[in-house]
Amino acid sequence: MKRLAIAAVTAGVLCTGTTQAETFVTIGTGGQTGVYYAVGQSICKLVNRGGEEHNIKCTAPSTGGSVANLNAIKVGEMDMGVAQSDWQYHAYNGTSKFEDQGANGDLRAVFSVHPEPFTVVARADSGIETFADLKGKRVNIGNPGSGSRGTMEVVMNALGWTKDDFSLAAELKSAEQAAAMCDNNVDAIVFTVGHPSGTIKEATTSCDAKLIPVTGAEVDTLASENDYYAKAIIPGGMYNGTDTDTETFGVGATFVSSTNTDEETIYQIVKAVFDNFDRFKKLHPAFANLKEEDMIVNNLSAPLHDGAARYYKERGWL
Ligand code: GLU
């Protein structure tokens, strides 16, 4: 936890005799061309604008993604982070990837953000038309530590696939994968991400490529049996090369923290976002359709942080 108490020694502070310590907080995000990075940067932007009132200094560095963020929050390296709804659920309950380390009962939900469809993009010359066609191809399954990689493994397990089913299973970070596909080092990329996203824009404008539907009995079962998954559509016309809707399934991006981050800090952060909500929604196109009433309930499996609950009650939302 980067929380340094720095005694303010400016003349003004000395005159009034009130030394308010600065609180430094960090938000774990994802790769720089994803949407998590924009979530963290946007929250910090609004928080830091109000710095004179609350003395909170917020930074949101690029990270490996959901699972890395949840782990960093658990050990106190980060105060907050963005995480997929499936990995929030598993971290809180100590299931799936989190079974070995056990449940993190200190994890707290703050709010949910944008939907994240499980997104597959393939080179037009790869011959890939369906998810099943990925078999035998060169595919970027994502970096360990990303939620996206974890969800790809869930889908692979559901289909009975292993890494050996691909001629190459690359583990590139999200910010590297569009270039790798357009340089013809992989045939397809897999990324659970909000839309529109910089990565998918880059992948569909730097070379001929299209979105691939992710459908079938296994996917239907995943979506119907788990609350943290749902069927999803990536709208046609959003990206070059794909004019019709693409069917898939998806998760929700969520903003989480832990009981180790105090109530007042989370209250001020939530207040900075929701007191300036119209401004927040304009900071990235994937935020355009966000609604407050959904964000405080959808996709949250860990209990609400006390500081968030305090603000939502104050607004009459709870
Ligand atoms: N959902 C991705 C992950 O957890 C990150 C998406 C993004 O960077 O916007 O790895």
Tell me the CATH number at 225: 3.40.190.10
- pLDDT for position 21: 86
Does residue 131 lie within any of the structural domains? yes
Q: Do 122 and 241 belong together in one domain?
A: yes
How far does the centroid of ligand 1 lie from the alpha carbon of residue 149, in Å?
9
| Parent domain of 285 | 11-114+253-314
Q: Is 143 in the pocket of ligand 1 (CB under 6 A)?
A: no
Q: Is 146 in the pocket of ligand 1 (CB under 6 A)?
A: yes
pTM for the full model?
0.94
The residue out of 212, 236, 251 marking a domain boundary is 251
33 CA closest ligand 1 atom index: 8
How far does the centroid of ligand 1 lie from the alpha carbon of residue 299, in Å?
15
Q: Do 127 and 199 belong together in one domain?
A: yes
The residue out of 251, 270, 288 marking a domain boundary is 251
Nearest protein Cα to ligand 1, atom 3? 147
Nearest protein Cα to ligand 1, atom 8? 34
The residue out of 220, 251, 282 marking a domain boundary is 251
How far does the centroid of ligand 1 lie from the alpha carbon of residue 52, in Å?
32
Q: Which of 43, 85, 97, 116 has most ligand 1 atoms within 8 Å of its beta carbon, as the pocket-test mutant? A: 116
Does residue 3 lie within any of the structural domains? no
- pLDDT for position 11: 34
Does residue 5 lie within any of the structural domains? no
Q: Do 102 and 131 belong together in one domain?
A: no
Does residue 1 lie within any of the structural domains? no
Of the candidates 286, 315, 294, the one whose C-alpha atom is nearest the C-alpha of residue 36 is 286
Q: Do 293 and 145 belong together in one domain?
A: no
How far does the centroid of ligand 1 lie from the alpha carbon of residue 307, in Å?
25
Q: Is 287 in the pocket of ligand 1 (CB under 6 A)?
A: no
How far does the centroid of ligand 1 lie from the alpha carbon of residue 7, in Å?
37
3 CB burial (10 A radius; 0-12, 13-18, 19+): middle
Q: Which residues of the chain have pLDDT under 70?
A: 1-19
- pLDDT for position 18: 53
Q: Do 182 and 87 belong together in one domain?
A: no
Contact 21, 5 (CB under 8 A): yes
87 CA closest ligand 1 atom index: 4
- pLDDT for position 20: 72
Q: Is 198 in the pocket of ligand 1 (CB under 6 A)?
A: no
Instruction: Tell me how many domains the chain contains.
Output: 2
Contact 312, 275 (CB under 8 A): no
The single residue listed with the structure tokens 């009130």 is 18
- pLDDT for position 184: 98
192 CA closest ligand 1 atom index: 1
